[in-house]
Structure 1
Amino acid sequence: MTDIPAGDARLERGAEAFRAARRALAVEWPTLTLVAGTYAGWLALTYFHAALPVLVVAPLGALLITLHSSLQHEMLHGHPTRSRRLNRALATVPLSLWLPFESYRITHLLDHRDERLTDPLDDPESRYWTDEDWARLGPIGRFLVAAQQTLLGRLVFGPAWSIGCYWAGEARAVWRNEGPARRIWRAHVLHLVPVLFWLVFVAKMDLVFYVLAIVYPGTSILLIRSFAEHRAESSVVERTAIVEKSHLLGPLFLFNNLHAVHHAWPTLPWYEIPSLYRDHRARFVAENGGLVYHSYLDVARRFLLTPHDAPTHPLGRAPLPEGRGPDQG
């Protein structure tokens, strides 16, 4: 996969200049400062939650969960230091409780095999289904999947569905000792211990409240970003969307709303994405076939109650490049 859209000499020169500058930087201070602020904010909010109104604790907690997840995404792409071990250590604190960072890291990097984007068998983050799997779903399952093709359904049912399906798959993998599943979950349990100790014994927060009022809505906010992020199209470069003018959610998502830029240049730090997009907007929009939304309000206007797409993949499985198997991305 190329780091930048090919053929733009100015963009290529800018990319090389950025790579040279990044090699000289031991630490990306904006990201590290944000990581420290997020953990400090989470500690303060949970510790003082009893002295604050629920209508303050719940939304602020959900926003912190969202921001932390956005930072985890940033850190799995090699930020904010040149030390992979330190980046992983900063990212592995499981504030959302349910998702091991290492599992997320592996599946998300598979999602960056752009030629497999949206493929229901090869893209682990695809929301599409094969005709065969769709037929095997019962009526309740088909209803829940179809409901999540609307933004409202994704926000209401999406977290429970995503977490439930993920845990079911992981339980099978752990039981069968498939791949690194047991190693990942042993590490995750160890990482959970200090988080749960803090919540239960230090902050004295009700875990049911934490899960339902903070983790669940925080996951829902994240699903706003991913809802219209990819769309099945015959051309690979037209499968990744751009959401412009997102002045509130854009920073919360660390500008991953400009998703075509991230797929074109996944190593670019979050604070450099808006300027790169502004400088080369015409090229990015032309290359993704005009899959651009004015804002997340525009996404909601179009898809709050209207399906974004059909649940089954409209093109069938995308053909594999010659000589390449699905596990060779």
Structure 2
Amino acid sequence: MPLETLPRIDRSTAEWPTMLLAVVIYGGWLLVTFYWQSLPLVLVVLLGGWLVAWQGSLQHEVMHGHPTRSRAVNDAIGWPPLSLWLPYRVYRLSHLRHHRDEYLTDPIEDPESAYVTPERWQRLGPVARAVLKFNMTLVGRLTVGPALMIGLFLADEAKLVIAGEPGRRQVWALHVVSVALVLAWLVLVCAMPLWIYLAGFVYFGGALTRLRSFAEHKAAERAEERTAIVENGGLLGLLYLNNNLHVLHHLRPAVAWYRLPSLYRAERDALVRHNGGLVYDGYGDILRRYFLNRHDEPPHPGM
């Protein structure tokens, strides 16, 4: 099957595996937060971080038109702000901009780029440069990466709100109300200290998300060669809803997550040729290559 004929639409009916997944994620979050005092703290952190990262994968799925034909229903499934810091609506708009593949990795046009422009690099001081270089290693992405992701996002959003960006204040007002409901559940109902949720659920969940995105994209002259494939995802493949097969997702975002592996196996050779052979043998391969070594340099090489 040529790549041009890969399935484009995959939602003639409601996708029940995704609906069931949403029940598992939100039900699991409610159970872990409610019974956290009866569980070992390590288990609370592991489950909490997993569930928050898993919800991020679910949000990514629903913003691409899953699991129903109704955008209102899909958005409602992705709306709850379990991560606290990221409004679903902002994430949706930003991520759909990221899917303009001709701009992938461009630090100006791609909102998910890990690169900076050469001009910005020249303006940075030695400490900021050292932090960005460290962030290009896997250990850096997992430790300081979530703080950079959250801090830079909130700083940019604050500028937009202050500048009066149309609709931004309404989005954040609704988000604040939604976060208040989450915090009321955590503090008033579950009696959970906020530091446990912030460190265990939010930060650890952010680190798991940073692992997924670490090697997804790399600057290259051809747009097709900027998107990677991570084969043999294992349990992390389930956490990321097979988004480790990233080049296939970019080619066909309308295909449901549970159908990606079979489609990938059927078209593996063509997909590997398409992305120039940017393939990793599982996340262990990425760990061995980049735990202390930089995936790339922070200044975008093509600018």
* Shared fold, TM over 0.5: yes
Cα deviation, residue 180, structure 1: 2.7
Q: Does 1:73 align with 2:60?
A: yes
Q: Does 1:224 align with 2:211?
A: yes
Instruction: Please give the residue correspondences for 1:105-120 in structure 2 after superposition, counting only pairs within 5 Å.
Output: 105-120=92-107
Q: Does 1:255 align with 2:246?
A: no
Amino acid corresponding to residue 124 of structure 1 in structure 2 = P
Instruction: Please give the residue correspondences for 1:95-110 in structure 2 after superposition, counting only pairs within 5 Å.
Output: 95-110=82-97
- The answer for the alignment partner of 1:302 in structure 2 is 289
Cα deviation, residue 128, structure 1: 0.8
Instruction: Please give the residue correspondences for 1:281-296 in structure 2 after superposition, counting only pairs within 5 Å.
Output: 281-296=268-283
Out of 164, 173, 182, the position equivalent to 1:186 is: 173
Q: Does 1:265 align with 2:252?
A: yes
Identity in percent = 48
Amino acid corresponding to residue 106 of structure 1 in structure 2 = L
Q: Is the 8 A contact 2:11 2:67 kept in 1?
A: no
* Cα distance in 2 between the residues matched to 1:222 and 1:295: 15
* Cα distance in 2 between the residues matched to 1:29 and 1:266: 18
* Cα distance in 1 between the residues matched to 2:132 and 2:167: 28
Out of 21, 25, 41, the position equivalent to 1:54 is: 41
Which segment is superposed worse, 179-188 or 269-278? 179-188
SS at structure 2 position matched to 1:243:
strand
Aligned length: 303
Cα deviation, residue 208, structure 1: 1.2
- The answer for the alignment partner of 1:322 in structure 2 is none
Amino acid corresponding to residue 292 of structure 1 in structure 2 = V
The runs of 5 or more residues in structure 1 that have no matched partner are 1-6, 317-329
Ranges of 4+ aligned residues in structure 1 off by more than 6 Å: none
The runs of 5 or more residues in structure 2 that have no matched partner are none
Cα deviation, residue 191, structure 1: 1.4
Cα deviation, residue 150, structure 1: 0.3
Amino acid corresponding to residue 11 of structure 2 in structure 1 = R
Cα deviation, residue 167, structure 1: 0.7
Q: Does 1:148 align with 2:142?
A: no
- The answer for the alignment partner of 2:144 in structure 1 is 157
Q: Does 1:15 align with 2:42?
A: no
Amino acid corresponding to residue 246 of structure 2 in structure 1 = H
Amino acid corresponding to residue 315 of structure 1 in structure 2 = G
Cα deviation, residue 240, structure 1: 0.1
- The answer for the alignment partner of 1:177 in structure 2 is 164
Cα deviation, residue 193, structure 1: 2.1
* Cα distance in 1 between the residues matched to 2:157 and 2:126: 24
Amino acid corresponding to residue 139 of structure 1 in structure 2 = P
Cα deviation, residue 55, structure 1: 1.3
SS at structure 1 position matched to 2:58:
helix
Q: Does 1:91 align with 2:85?
A: no
SS at structure 2 position matched to 1:128:
coil
* Cα distance in 1 between the residues matched to 2:199 and 2:212: 20
Q: Does 1:138 align with 2:125?
A: yes
Cα deviation, residue 104, structure 1: 0.5
Q: Deviations over 1:161-189 (max 9, x none)?
A: 11111111111111111233212101111
| Aligned residues: CA RMSD | 1.2
Cα deviation, residue 234, structure 1: 0.3
Query: Normalising by the residue count of structure 1, what TM-score does the alignment of the two structures yield?
Result: 0.90
* Cα distance in 1 between the residues matched to 2:160 and 2:95: 18
Asked which structure has the greater RCO (Cα within 8 Å, sep 6+), the reply is 2
Cα deviation, residue 61, structure 1: 0.6
* Cα distance in 1 between the residues matched to 2:296 and 2:16: 40
* Cα distance in 2 between the residues matched to 1:232 and 1:101: 27
- The answer for the alignment partner of 1:195 in structure 2 is 182
* Cα distance in 1 between the residues matched to 2:28 and 2:155: 32
Q: Is the 8 A contact 2:81 2:178 kept in 1?
A: yes
